[in-house]
């Protein structure tokens, strides 16, 4: 039987972080419509979720990217969190 805390860590954390960041990106575009290239103020939330998961997993297709300094900071912080998530999940899962 699976440990519910371990399952929570493996599923909820890697899923909730990109969804939270997609809301942050949507807010940044609301403040400044030119924050990102490839994403506009008319884009729906699914475009931001897609971009966020691509950033979180550090795939970076290049179809959307940050332009404004605030957007660059947000994207960089999400990429760093994405890079650090896997080692932390492995560490706490084996603990």
pLDDT digits (tens, 9 = 90+) for 43-95: 899 999 999 999 999 888 989 999 999 999 999 999 999 999 888 877 776 76
pLDDT on residue 89:
79
Assign 14 a pLDDT band (cuts: 50, 70, 90): confident
| Spatial separation of the C-alpha atoms in residues 41 and 54, rounded to whole Å | 19
Q: The whole model's pTM is what?
A: 0.85
Q: Which residue has the higher pLDDT, 8 or 84?
A: 84
pLDDT on residue 52:
95
CATH fold label, 4-94: Helix Hairpins (1.10.287)
pLDDT at 40 over 80: no
Q: Where are the domains of the chain?
A: 4-94
**Which residue from 15, 22, 17 is spatially nearest to 36, judged by alpha carbons?**
22
| Spatial separation of the C-alpha atoms in residues 21 and 87, rounded to whole Å | 20
């Amino acid at each position: 039987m699976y440990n519910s805390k371990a399952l929570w860590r493996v599923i909820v954390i890697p899923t909730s972080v990109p969804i939270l960041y997609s809301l942050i990106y949507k807010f940044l575009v609301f403040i400044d419509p030119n924050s990102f290239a490839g994403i506009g103020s008319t884009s729906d939330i699914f475009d931001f979720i897609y971009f966020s998961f691509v950033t979180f997993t550090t795939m970076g297709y290049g179809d959307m990217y940050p332009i404004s300094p605030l957007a660059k900071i947000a994207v960089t912080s999400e990429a760093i969190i994405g890079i650090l998530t896997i080692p932390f999940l492995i560490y706490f899962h084996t603990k």
